[in-house]
Chains A and B, each alone.
Chain A
Amino acid sequence: MALEFRHVSKSFGGRDGGSLLAVDDVSFRVEEGEFVSVVGPSGCGKSTILSMTAGLYQPTEGEVLVSEERVTGPNTHVGFMLQKDLLLPWRSIIHNIEFGLESRGVPRAQRRERAMRELAHCHLEGFENHFPYQLSGGMRQRAALARTLAIDPEIILLDEPFSALDAQTKLLLQNSFAGTIKEAGKTTLLITHDLSEAVLMSDRILVLSERPGQIIAEITVDLPHRDKPIKRRLMPEVGDYAAQLFKHLKLEEKAA
C-alpha cells in the first residue's frame, strides 16, 4: 500500500478567529501502482488533500501515511505537479529537470544522466537546452512531469495538470502522461474537476462532497487501456461511468 488517509480532517483558521473545515474525516487507501482520481465541486478540499500528502501542511486530525510512514513534512517519497508547470524560467529544460535532484546530494554526472533519461521518457529529446518560454504549454507540462519523475518518487500527485490546455493538446498530453506513468509503474493521485478525464485515466475514482469535503462515493473503473486514454475514450462504457459521477455530484439538480 502506497498512500493512506486515516480519518483526516483539516480546518483553517479564519480571519475572525473562527475556523473553516476544509476536509472532514476522510479515509482512503491507494495501492502501489494504482492510479486514483479525486473529483468534486470546486472548493471541496481537493487541493488540501494533495498538499497534506506532499507534507506542505499537517492534518488537524487523523494521519496521512506514505509507504507506511507518517507524513510530517515535505519528503522524498512524493512528487507533485500543478496546473502551472512551475518551471524556473531562468533555467534551461535540462536544468529544470535536475532541480529536484540538487538538494539530494546526487552527483552532477548522475543528475544529468537521470535528467536525460526522463527527458527521453517524456518525448522532449533535443529540447534540453531550450528555455521554458521557447516551449508550448503541452511541452512545458511534459518537462514538469520529467522533473517530477527524475526524483523517482513513490507517489505522483497531479493537481489539475491539464486544465490550462486546449482540448487537443489536453488529449494528447493525457495519453502521453498515462503511458509514461504506467511504464514507470508509479502510484498516482490525480486531482481533477474534469469527469471524463477521471474516467479515462484512473483505476479508481473518489468523489468528494462540497465543503467540508467528505468522500461520498468510490467508483472502480473496470476498463482496459489505462495507459492509453485515447483508446479508452472510444469505449461506450465511459459514458456510463461519467453519468455515475454526474449523479453523485448532483449536477442535474444544480442545473435545474
Chain B
Amino acid sequence: MLRTHATKLTSAAILILVLVAWEVLPTALDVPRFIIPTLSDSMIELKRMWTNEGLLGHVTSTALLTLIGFLIGSLLGAVMGYLLGMSTFWEKVLSPYILALQIAPKVAFAPLFIMWFGYNSMPKLLVTVLIVFFPVLVNVLQAMRTVDRDLVNLARAYNLTRMGIFWKVEMPSTLPNLMAGLRIASTLAVIGVTVGELVGGNTGLGYLISYGGGQANAAMVFNAIILLTVIGFVLYAALERIEERVLHYLPKADH
C-alpha cells in the first residue's frame, strides 16, 4: 500500500518537473516560440483552437475513428486468428501471405485508399483496421497453437463437441494473449487514424498537425500530439480495466 503510494507520488513529481521545465527552459535558453512554445503558449493556443478551429469536432472525429477502427480491426483479427487456429491446413496455406502483409508498412496504404475512396472517413478507418488487425491475429493464433493438449483431451474424454471444446477450453485459454494483442493494437489504432488524417481530408487531429505545421504554428502541433496521446491513453487504460476484470483468475505477481 505504502509502495503504491510512493510510486504514484514520484510519478506525479516527475510530471510536475517536466511541465515546469517546459514552461521555463525555452525562454531561459532563448528558443524562439515557433520552434518550442512554452506550456502557457500552448495553453493559450489550445483555447484559440477550441474557439476558432472547432477543436471539439476534430477530437471527436479522431477519437471515434480510433475506437471504431480498433473495434473492427481487432474483431476481424480475433475471428481470423481463431479460424486459422482451428485449421492447421489453412494456417499453413495462408501463413506466408499473412507474414508478407504483416511486414508491409500498413501506413503506406493510406494514399492508395484515398485514391480509391476519396477524402472521407473510409481511408482513415481502413488504415486503422489494417494496422490493428495483425497484432490481434498473431497473438490469438500463437495462443491457439499452444493450448494445452491435455486440456483438450480432457474435454474430448468428457464428450464435448468441437464447438464445445472451442468455447469452453480453447477460447478461454487464449484470453490472456488476446488481451495482450488488444493492448498492443490500441496503441497502434491512434497511429492508423493519425496517418489517415495526415495524408488527406480536413478533419481530425492528424489534419491539425499538418495544418499547424504548414503555418509554422508549433503550439498547434504540440497540442494535437498531446491530445492524440490522451486518446490512446484512455483506450489503453480502458482495456487495462477490462483485462483486470476478465483475467481476475490469474494470480497477481507480488513485486
Contact = CB atoms under 8 A, between A and B. Distances in A.
Contact of B150 (A75, A86, A133): A86
Provide the main secondary structure of the chain B interface: helix
A41 interface: no
25 contacts: A54-B153, A54-B157, A55-B157, A56-B153, A56-B156, A56-B157, A75-B159, A76-B159, A79-B157, A88-B151, A88-B168, A88-B169, A89-B249, A90-B249, A100-B158, A102-B158, A102-B168, A103-B158, A103-B159, A103-B160, A103-B161, A103-B164, A104-B158, A133-B249, A151-B158
B21 to A, nearest CB: 44
Interface string A208-233: 00000000000000000000000000
Contacts of B168: 88, 99, 102
Interface residues of A, number: 26
Interface of B: 148, 150-151, 153-154, 156-161, 164, 168-169, 172, 175, 249-251
A82 B251 CA distance: 23
Which 9 residue pairs spanning A and B have beta carbons closest together? A133-B251, A100-B158, A74-B157, A131-B249, A90-B172, A90-B249, A103-B160, A74-B156, A103-B159
Given A54-B157, A86-B154, 12 more contacts: A56-B153, A74-B159, A79-B157, A84-B150, A86-B150, A86-B151, A88-B172, A89-B249, A90-B249, A102-B168, A103-B158, A103-B160
Contacts of B160: 102-103
Provide the main secondary structure of the chain A interface: loop
Interface in A19-60: 51, 54-56
Given A74-B159, A103-B160, A89 B154 contact: no
